[in-house]
Amino acid sequence: MTFRVVVALLVVCVWLIQQAASFNFDQLQQTAARRFGPRAANSIRDWQAALNDSNSLGEIEKLHFINAYVNGRVTFVDDQTAWQVNDYWATPLESLGRAVGDCEDYTIAKYFSLKYLGVPVSKLRLTYARARIGGPASTITQAHMVLAYYPSPDAEPLILDNLISEIRPASRRSDLAPVFSFNSEGVWMAGGQPQPTGGSSGLTRWQDLLTRMKNEGFDI
């Protein structure tokens, strides 16, 4: 192996480390126990084990594993019932610890789980959409959030959803009409055009979520 190859590999390793998130699981378990009881701490411990077990999987396998894991451990409950407010973005500790959440909470937990597993955030976008309810002829829609995965910048995304367990390409999700998407790096309007200024720093609920996560023990 030449010196140049070694240097290139080191650069890639550093880049992957910078992309990945770091979670203080001891602190997370203590926080979960203090706020929600010992069962919540056990849920965070199970999540840690699941992340460790799936770390060696390929990128697409990680998508399927995390999508199924979060969908299987969170029961859909609206924010008014769960938090007594109309709109609340729960941290992964809150949604997995209490095992309840709405569409944003599923999406947030999947996003940070995959980031922890080293999936580049440039491939992941939390996507707000209008979801059609009641079949192809229906005109009834409601606000919904899913996680979109882009294998490459111009590729058709795969959609991770709590309503449909199967991960499908966007072309097979005609029930979803994207409005905008975002991640830690920026905001994109429908059609894929990046927002020219502000980026995700202008999303107050996102910034509030990140602050609460850091206080819980997430190094994101």
Greatest alpha-carbon pair distance for the chain in Å reads 62
Contact 60, 114 (CB under 8 A): no
pLDDT score recorded for residue 201 = 59
pLDDT score recorded for residue 54 = 98
Q: Return mean pLDDT, the chain.
A: 89
Q: Residue 15 is inside which H or E element, if any?
A: helix 3-19
pLDDT score recorded for residue 108 = 98
- Residue 1 CB contacts under 8 Å (≥ 6 apart), including other chains: none
Q: 20-219, what's its fold? A: C8orf32 fold (3.10.620)
| Domain boundaries defined on the chain | 20-219
CA distance 44 to 50: 10
pLDDT score recorded for residue 220 = 75
pLDDT score recorded for residue 156 = 96
- 3-state SS of 57-107? CCHHHHHHHHHHHHHHHCEECCHHHHHCCCCCCCCHHHHHHHCEECHHHHH
- pLDDT tens digits for 4-51? 533 343 333 433 434 456 899 999 999 999 999 999 999 999 999 999
- Which residues of the chain have a pLDDT value below 50? 3, 5-19
CA distance 173 to 149: 14
